[in-house]
Amino acid sequence: MTSSTPDPLPSGSTPGAFRPTRRTVSAVLGAGAVGTILSACGGGASGSSGSTPAGAKQGGDIVFLIDSLGDTWIPNNSAISSFQGNVWGHVTDKLVYVDGEGKVTPWLAEKWEQNANATEFTLHLKSGVTFSDGTALDAAAVVANLDYWAKGQADKGVNPIGLFPKTYLQASAADASTVVVEFSAPTLGFIPTLGYHGSILISPKTIALPAEGQADLSQVSGSGPFTVKSWKEGDEVVLVKRADYAWGPQALGKSDAAALDSITYKIVKESSLRTASLQSNQADAVFNATPQELDGLKEAGFEVATPRYLGFTHGYRLNTSVAPFDDVAVRQAFQHAIDRDEILSTVYTSDWKKAQSFIQSNVPEATDHSAEFTYDAATANSLLEQAGWVKGADGKRSKGGRPLSVTLFPNPYLVTSQAIDELVAQQLGKVGFTVDLQTFDVVTYGQRVSGNKTLSNYEVTRSFIDVGTVASILTSANKGEDWFGLGESDQTLNHLRDAVAGAVDEDTRRTSVDQLQQYVLEQGLFIPLEQIVQRIYANRSDLKGVTYNGVAYANYYAAHLEA
């Protein structure tokens, strides 16, 4: 497809009021997409169960344009995707709700208790909840899901969900509404993890299906406020509301059926076409508009959301086992050579925030350590000189005949990654680095970059729900991801990791997390860039009540169209 400029709105019109002609739709989306979009955008039928706010329309259908819907619907293998996660959040529920500030509130688990050392938790479930296939969402179903999340199904090619506590031992049903969960070590982050986007509850009948059945979205049964009406791989997913839904999260102030009748997720790969469709009112919501498009959308009256997820900031984790980052002075010089203000002013809008640590500032335990990575080219040059890296006539540094070279790999999951890496390359070049960029599509990136321990750096775009996750991935302990190539060799990092992982109360853990942040940054192991907004949303102006959870997904359960 080629970029297309939408027809302007008629004078005096507001977004959502004007419906252009079929010719306009053809210009924006192409003739092949017209029939689908038009049929999905029509006014919805009334008769929805449950209440809606004053001035709200009962019913209605919305079309959500998205750049991808991934390559699988196996729940464990797709729930944490930035793309499929938008769908899963409407057809499934969770045991707890976690908001954008990390606050945990009850959902299908009405209350819970833990023992003194955080190794055993008891969950008390809401009664009367069912999956869309009619199966009760009782203690036995929750036990089946906990095992599924923690262990996966290796014989079917189903992965455990990322970041589920590796200390999980077992779960058992004490009675129909009570689940007891046991861990091999303190696991203070277990309850928040139940609100992670991987922790979606699906019917035991779905879990029992072979892999091809689990990958067929029409066979997957959740307990959420919408069900799958139809889906076509590489094209669209159509959801319709579940009329008997009555167990929404208390944090949203709503428990009954959704006001909207349907949501159609339609793939339109190019950002400019998605935005044009929103502007010409052939779509009601779009995913991943570029930052450069946002001011124009706001000025036109659209609702733009740039939620920050709980997790790591956008930045580089450096591999200390690969030159030149085996030298702490080079890592620290890399930190100080980057002008983050220039990145924000060049690539982003005022919606983006400077990094204060390698953890997003909305994580409850995050503390400000930005002094460790301030932009200071003089300090960067001095560190490199002291480490023996000498500038040549061309301004590039070398040591013993070896150039100070780094290759960056823009992350295809972040729309701004390449632009940022190009700017960082220029900034690093000013202090003597020789920088190359290698760009790949999502598939090739996964094959050549993700998990490749021979590379000197990796660009991080990653969420988590609970800060305890940090301890489980920084080193190689307990099958950790060994982010910095240190294995178990750094005793200070090991001690801080264990202090975070082994904490049995929030205050103790908060202190350890602060110390961990300080150490990682002063050692130049993680180079923060900006607080990440990986999921960008734009909605029509009369679509109200959209909510965003702790992993920054938009949810339309509590949303409605204005009458």
pLDDT digits (tens, 9 = 90+) for 65-82: 999 998 899 999 988 888
> What are the E-state strand segments in 145-207?
168-175, 178-183
pLDDT at 82: 84
Contact in structure between 182 and 120 (CB atoms under 8 Å) = yes
* pLDDT tens track for 394-436: 999 999 999 999 999 999 888 899 999 999 999 999 999 999 9
pLDDT at 24: 32
Contact in structure between 25 and 38 (CB atoms under 8 Å) = yes
Contact in structure between 442 and 412 (CB atoms under 8 Å) = yes
* Rg value, the chain, Cα: 24
* pLDDT tens track for 159-213: 999 789 989 999 999 999 999 999 999 999 999 999 999 999 999 999 999 999 9
Residue 95 CA, chain-centre distance (Å), reads 19
pLDDT at 70: 86
pLDDT at 20: 32
Name the pLDDT band for 55 (thresholds 50, 70, 90).
confident
Closest to 498 (Cα-Cα) out of 484, 512, 518: 512
Dihedrals φ, ψ of 197, to 5°? -70, -10
State the Cα–Cα distance between residues 407 and 318, nearest whole angstrom: 12
Closest to 318 (Cα-Cα) out of 426, 409, 381: 409
Residue with tokens 């150039």: 403
pLDDT at 7: 32
pLDDT at 39: 36
Tell me: pLDDT of 122 over 60: yes
Name the pLDDT band for 10 (thresholds 50, 70, 90).
very low
State the Cα–Cα distance between residues 283 and 278, nearest whole angstrom: 5
pTM listed for this prediction = 0.85
Dihedrals φ, ψ of 475, to 5°? -120, -175
pLDDT at 533: 94
8 CB burial (10 A radius; 0-12, 13-18, 19+): exposed
Tell me: pLDDT of 36 over 70: no
* pLDDT tens track for 304-346: 999 999 999 999 999 999 999 999 999 999 999 999 999 999 9
Closest to 82 (Cα-Cα) out of 550, 546, 534: 534
State the Cα–Cα distance between residues 540 and 248, nearest whole angstrom: 24
Query: Strands 285-287 and 537-539, how do they pair?
Result: antiparallel
Name the pLDDT band for 443 (thresholds 50, 70, 90).
confident
Residue 376 CA, chain-centre distance (Å), reads 31
pLDDT at 2: 33
Angle at 508 between CA 505 and CA 510, to 5 degrees: 105
Q: Is the peptide bond before 20 cis (omega within 30 degrees of 0)?
A: no
State the Cα–Cα distance between residues 426 and 537, nearest whole angstrom: 30
Contact in structure between 525 and 317 (CB atoms under 8 Å) = yes
* pLDDT tens track for 448-462: 999 999 999 999 988
- Helices in 48-189 by DSSP H: which ranges? 75-78, 84-91, 139-151
Using DSSP, state whether 337 is helix, strand or coil: coil
pLDDT at 51: 58
Tokens of 537: 């949303």
Residue count (the chain): 563
Give CA separation, 43 vs 40, 47, 205, in Å: 9, 13, 35
**Position 252: which residue type?**
L
State the Cα–Cα distance between residues 197 and 90, nearest whole angstrom: 11
Domains defined along the chain, listed by start: 61-307+536-561 (3.40.190.10), 311-531 (3.10.105.10)
pLDDT at 30: 43
- Got the DSSP string for 132-158? TTS-B--HHHHHHHHHHHHH-BGGGTB
Tokens of 157: 């090619």
Tell me: pLDDT of 470 over 90: no
Tell me: pLDDT of 34 over 80: no
pLDDT at 11: 30
321 CB burial (10 A radius; 0-12, 13-18, 19+): middle
200 CB burial (10 A radius; 0-12, 13-18, 19+): buried
Q: What is the 3 state secondary structure string of 351-409?
A: CCCECCCCECCCCCCCCCCHHHHCCCHHHHHHHHHHCCCEECCCCCEEECCEECEEEEC
* pLDDT tens track for 488-522: 999 999 999 999 999 999 999 999 999 999 999 99
> What are the E-state strand segments in 254-382?
262-267, 285-287, 303-305, 314-318
Tell me: pLDDT of 25 over 50: no
State the Cα–Cα distance between residues 71 and 531, nearest whole angstrom: 28
Tell me: pLDDT of 40 over 50: no
Dihedrals φ, ψ of 317, to 5°? -95, 130
Tell me: pLDDT of 14 over 50: no
User: 92 versus 4: which is more confidently predicted?
Assistant: 92
Tell me: pLDDT of 63 over 80: yes
pLDDT at 9: 31
**How much is the average pLDDT of 26-54?**
41
**Position 499: which residue type?**
A
